[in-house]
Amino acid sequence: MPKRMFVLGVVFLALTIFPATRCAAKANADDLAVDNLFSAIRDGNFSAATSHFNARMKAFSPAGLKGSWSQVYAGQGPLLSWKIFERQNLTKGGDEVRVQLRFHRSTANSVVVVAPQTGEITGLWFKLPVTAPPYAEQKRFHFEDVTVGTYKLPGTLTIPNGKGPFPAVVLIHGSGPNDRDETVGANHPFADIAEGLSSRGIVVLRYDKRTYAYRTLDPQKTMVDEEVIQDGVAAVRLLRARRDVAQDRIFVLGHSLGAMLAPEIAKKAGQVAGIVMLAPPGRKLPQLVVEQARFLGQAPPGELTQIERDADELSAHKMPATQIFIGAPASYYYDLDARDEVAIARALDVPILILRGSRDYQIIDEDIRHWQNGLKGDAKVQVDTLPGLNHLFIAGTGKPTPAEYYAPGHVDAAVIAAITSFIANAGGAPAPQAPPN
Q: Which residues pair with 389 in a beta bridge?
A: 395
How many Å separate Cα 92 from the centre of its chain?
Answer: 33
CA distance 323 to 380: 41
Contact at 8 Å (CB) between 235 and 272? no
Catalytic annotation present for 391: yes
3-state secondary structure 42-87: HCCCHHHHHCCECCCHHHCCHHHHHHHHHHHHCCCCCEEEEEEEEE
Catalytic annotation present for 370: no
For 193-326, strand residue ranges (E) read: 203-207, 245-255, 274-278, 324-325
User: Greatest CA separation found in the chain?
Assistant: 71
Which amino acid belongs to residue 360?
D
Measure Cα distances from 407 to 78, 97, 173, 401 in Å: 26, 18, 20, 11
Catalytic residue among 360, 367, 410, 412: 360
Q: ∠247-249-251 over CA atoms, to 5°? A: 115
- Name which of 354, 368, 355, 358 is nearest 395 in CA terms: 358
Measure Cα distances from 390 to 63, 183, 370, 412 in Å: 44, 15, 19, 10
Q: For residue 343, give every residue at least 6 positions away whose Cβ sits within 8 Å of its Cβ, in sequence order, or none.
A: 374
Catalytic residue among 30, 391, 410, 412: 391
Catalytic residue among 110, 175, 199, 256: 256
Contact at 8 Å (CB) between 156 and 206? yes
Catalytic annotation present for 199: no
Which amino acid belongs to residue 11?
V
Query: Which residues are catalytic, by number?
Result: 256, 360, 391
